[in-house]
Amino acid sequence: MLRCLSAIIILSLCSAGALASEAGFRPSFRPDQLKGPPAGRRNEVLVLGTAHLSGLPKTFQPAMLEPLLQRLARWRPEAIATENLSGLQCDFMRRNPGRYAESVETYCFDTDAARAATGLDVPNANVEMARLLSAWPASPTDAQRRHLAAVFLAAGERGSAQVQWLRLPVQERIAGDGLDAALVEILDKSLTRRNETNLLAAVLAARLGLERLWAVDDHTADSPTPPEHEKAASEAIMKAWDNPRANARRDADESLYANIGKLDGVLDLYRAYNRPGVGLQAYQADFGAALVEPSLQGFGRNYVGYWETRNLRMVANIREVLGQRPGTRLLAIVGASHKGYYEAYLNMMHDVQLVDAEEVLR
Domains of the chain, residue spans: 84-215, 227-361
Task: Give the Cα separation of 60 and 264 in Å (integer).
Answer: 11
Whole-model pTM over 0.85: yes
Residue 117 in contact with residue 155, Cβ under 8 Å? no
Task: Give the Cα separation of 324 and 78 in Å (integer).
Answer: 13
Which pLDDT tens digits describe the chain residue by residue (362 residues)? 434 434 433 334 344 444 444 678 999 999 999 998 899 999 999 999 999 999 999 999 999 999 999 999 999 999 999 999 999 999 999 999 999 999 999 999 999 999 999 999 999 999 999 999 999 999 999 999 999 999 999 999 999 999 999 999 999 999 999 999 999 999 999 999 999 999 999 999 999 999 999 999 999 999 999 999 999 999 999 999 999 999 999 999 999 999 999 989 999 999 999 999 999 999 999 999 999 999 999 999 999 999 999 999 999 999 999 999 999 999 999 999 999 999 999 999 999 999 999 999 99
In which region does residue 71 sit, left (phi positive, over 0), alpha (psi from -120 to 50) or beta (all else)? Answer: alpha
Helix then strand then coil, % of the chain, to nearest 5 = 60, 5, 30
In 3D space, the residue among 291, 277, 298 whose CA is nearest the CA of residue 243 turns out to be 291
Residue 260 in contact with residue 59, Cβ under 8 Å? yes
CA angle 115, 117, 118 (to 5 degrees): 65
In 3D space, the residue among 334, 336, 288, 337 whose CA is nearest the CA of residue 314 turns out to be 334
Other Cβ atoms within 10 Å of 218 Cβ, number: 20
In 3D space, the residue among 182, 95, 86, 163 whose CA is nearest the CA of residue 126 turns out to be 86
- Given this model, what pLDDT does residue 23 score? 72
Burial (CB < 10 A; 0-12, 13-18, 19+), residue 31, is exposed
Q: In the chain, where do the E strands start and end? A: 44-50, 79-82, 214-215, 329-335, 353-355
Strand pairing class (353-355; 79-82): unpaired
- Given this model, what pLDDT does residue 226 score? 92
Amino acid at 94: R
Residue 88 in contact with residue 126, Cβ under 8 Å? yes
